[in-house]
Amino acid sequence: MIKTDNLFNQLYSKKVMEHFKNPKNMGEIKDADGVATVGNPICGDVMKFYIKVGKKGGSEIISDVKFQTLGCGAAIATSSMITTLVKGQPLEKAEKVTKQVIAEALGGLPPVKMHCSVLADEGLKKAIKNYRQRNRKT
């Protein structure tokens, strides 16, 4: 029998394992200002992001952010990490978070798992886009 903890520890950084085992900001925001779902049909990962937007010093900021992810450890870890990176940040700064920033913040990802950081990046940006579409001035 293979000990999976040892295998995971060889593949993933300590930070990835921390965010996988104890994800931050997991859940749903019932009255979210922006919502988006992204997925990868090849690996089966699905991520849903919720954002609340507030005002601070004349800027729109992400006052709260949550996620629900069905997927592998890297998918959960990247979802968790992006939420910690953007919570409390202006929308413009949150939109500058890239797949590489997420991966680096996690101490790296195996090349075969970089698609998880791509999904997290796309999901957050789509939630921001959804917020802007809902709040377009007519």
The per-residue pLDDT for 42 is: 80
pLDDT digit string (tens) for the chain, length 138 residues: 445 555 555 677 899 999 999 999 999 999 999 999 999 878 889 999 999 999 998 899 999 999 999 999 999 999 999 999 999 999 999 999 999 999 999 999 988 899 999 999 999 999 999 999 998 864
Taking the model in full, what pTM does it have?
A: 0.90
Quick one: three-class SS letters along the chain? Answer: CCCHHHHHHHHCCHHHHHHHHCCCCECCCCCCCEEEEEECCCCCCEEEEEEEEEEECCEEEEEEEEEEEECCHHHHHHHHHHHHHHCCCEHHHHCCCCHHHHHHHCCCCCHHHHHHHHHHHHHHHHHHHHHHHHCCCC
Domains in the chain and their CATH numbers? 4-134 (3.90.1010.10)
Q: Active-site residues: which are they?
A: 43, 116
